Structure 1
Amino acid sequence: MALNQDARNRIGISFEFFPPKSEEAEGQLWKAVSELQDWNPDFVSVTYGAGGTTKAPTLATVSRFISSTPLATASHLTCVGATKEETHSVVESFRKAGVKHFVALRGDTPDGVGAPYTPHPGGYANASELVAGLRELGDFEISVSAYPEKHPESRDVAADIDMLKRKADNGADRALTQFFFDNDNFERYLEKVRAAGITIPVVPGIMPIMNLTQLKRFAGACGTVIPAFLDERFEGYDDKPEERAKVAADVAAAQIEDLARRGISDFHLYTMNRSPLVSAVLTNLGFKRNAAQSAGAAA
């Protein structure tokens, strides 16, 4: 399933990380960063909690990425539960830290996915308004979200595509999708996106499967469909972590290879702050590490 050289030359990759919540998790994060940066990603992103609950750790994590690694670093930014002035203050804090790229999201309510959403009366109502606000605040690179299998709160995919168009029209540079496993469904979604006049890149979000049981719980909350073939691929490997990891790397690499054959050239990998499985996926595809990139990593 390795890609040929021409295909590899056309492909761009990016990685997502999240702020650590403990000293042990922090060590795990920076170990992963020091290893994954050798793959020379186009950029990395750091998540931001509902209602700004992880502003401080996100800012600290992003600041360390910028000061201690060579990686172009984007910060997620949400507007839920905040006034415009509060959101602008957050943007200014991140700008001072050197952030030039935001992943602009409405964000989940503090009560979690599925809880009723009520816009803050003095804030941005949704991600499209947040994109417009960011465009007024500075010359930022702006990524947004997209949902091939629709956001859990949307009535249908058409409503999601309408929101994506508003985000694109307001100045978004690219869309990063929720993870998915059905490439045919993604291709149909992309056809609808283009038919709606949306021309920005739509970058597939790829989730290497570390634990299928846990993934199913997570997928249920965010609306991702788990195809039956995944149960078949992972059957019998619950107590065989090494073999399970090999299957997981094969599954993710095969998904990327198939999407590349369909003309997709950029991929956003959800790392879960761990490096071995992501590295195995890229190795399977024929990519080579660039160890020179790691000088000073996570110093």
Structure 2
Amino acid sequence: MTIPELIAGNGTAFSYEVLPPLKGNGIDGLRKTIDRLREFEPKYINITNHRAEYVYRKVEGGLMERLHTRRRPGTVAVAAVLQRECGIPLVPHVLCSGYTREDIEYRLLDMQILGIENLLLLRGDKAREDAVFHPTEGGHAHTTDLQMQVNEFNAGRFVDGTPIRQPGQPFSYGVACYPEKHEEAPNLESDFQMFKRKVELGADYGVTQLFYDNAAYYRFVDRCRKAGITVPIIPGIKPLSKLSQLTLVPKTFRCDLPEPLAHELFRCTTDEAVKQVGIEWAVEQCRDLIAHGVPSIHFYTVSAVDSIAQIAPQVY
């Protein structure tokens, strides 16, 4: 089933995003997260993907060696194993960043064989060493380029134009959207037009970047509907849990903290105090979203599994 089909029906669905484990750490931690949140009946679970990056290792003579490595490999394999074990659809992220078109094609083939039917297509972050995003040589610069490759694959054609002899089940996919504008977009209008183009190319739904002001989400959805965009737009929620996030989250994700939330947060002196404020704010956010009839709420779990486990029973 596609994500829109999974979240259709009565009530607001529950879903969340997890990271693959660091290289060599196994997946027991992910199993524990899934077991902990299982009672809230998630309709699907996203699993992130990460480009290779440069790391530094000491070698003889006090020198440093620079290595190009993937710190979190295994997105596809982990998704396949967990989907089989838990019986919940896993939605791997597929990135432009760090991948060639052929790399992506091989991942699509693997996922099709493994019975993964739903994807989230993203451009991905720039490399740490780059000031701005640079596409990988032989890769894609934009999510829309990646969409066109997946569309061609779904239509039974490889990236070089040759036919796929035995096309499998076509992929359904979602894309990201930004109620408060992507950090690299010059203005709201251009950012909105990019999302509109993604939908025109076949995105079955959008999932938003995290936000703390529901009014921004409602404005964005209203504008989409007036423009004829009818796909589900799933709000993404991440409860604050650390003092460092007070400045890091707005800077990293280009989202505003509403004044009432900021006022409470700046009174906090410990991570635990921030965590409690974050839980209380997210509960009210979610209750308001549910009252407005959103089809689903998607939670970002990094540093927040415990908070989400406390939020979910208060809103579902």
Shorter-chain TM-score: what band? 0.7 to 0.9
Report SS of the residue matched to 1:50: coil
Shift of 1:22: 6.0
Please list, as runs of the form range in 1=range in 2, the aligned pairs for 1:89-100 lying within 5 A after superposition. 89-100=106-117
Tell me if 1:131 matches 2:147: yes
3-state DSSP class of the match of 1:13?
Answer: strand
Which has the larger Rg?
2
Q: How does 1:115-264 map to 2 (within 5 A)?
A: 115-120=131-136, 122-138=138-154, 139-214=170-245, 216-239=247-270, 241=272, 244-264=274-294
Q: What does residue 47 of structure 2 align with?
A: 46
Q: Please list every run of 5 or more consecutive structure 2 residues that lacks an aligned counterpart in the other structure.
A: 1-8, 54-69, 155-169
Deviations, residues 213-251 of structure 1 (Å, cap 9, x unaligned): 23531331221222232233335543473x654432221
- Look up the match of 1:284: 314
In structure 1, what residue type is equivalent to 2:34? V
- Work out the percentage of aligned pairs sharing the same amino acid: 27
The structure carrying a bigger helix percent of its residues is 1
Name stretches of at least 5 consecutive residues in structure 1 with no aligned partner.
Answer: 1-7, 288-299
Q: Is the 8 A contact 2:48 2:75 kept in 1?
A: yes
Higher RCO (CA < 8 A, seq sep 6+): 1
Query: Would the alpha carbon gap of residues 36 and 132 (structure 1) be closer, same or farther in structure 2, given more than 3 Å must change?
Result: same
Match of residue 75 from structure 1 = 92
For the 8 Å contact 1:83–1:122, the answer to whether it is kept is yes
Question: Does the C-alpha gap of structure 1 residues 205 and 37 become closer, same or farther in structure 2, counting only changes over 3 Å?
Answer: same
Q: Shift in Å at residue 211 of structure 1?
A: 1.4
Which deviates further from its counterpart, 232-241 or 103-112? Answer: 232-241
**Paired positions, count:** 277
Distance 2:103 2:90 in 1: 22
SS in 1 for 2:16: strand
Aligned partners of 1:26 and 1:107: how far apart in 2? 23
- Residues 28 and 273, structure 1, Cα contact 8 Å, conserved in 2: no
**What amino acid sits opposite 1:32 in the alignment?**
T
CA–CA distance in 2 between the matches of 1:156 and 1:111? 24
Please, what TM-score do these two structures have when normalized by structure 1?
Answer: 0.83
Letter in 1 for 2:44: F
| Deviation string, structure 1 residues 141-168 (Cα, Å, up to 9, x no partner) | 2010001111111101111111111111
Contact 1:150 1:160 in 2 (8 A): yes
Opposite residue 282 of structure 1, the aligned amino acid is A
Superposed CA RMSD in Å reads: 2.5
Q: 1:253 & 1:280 partners in 2: Cα distance?
A: 9
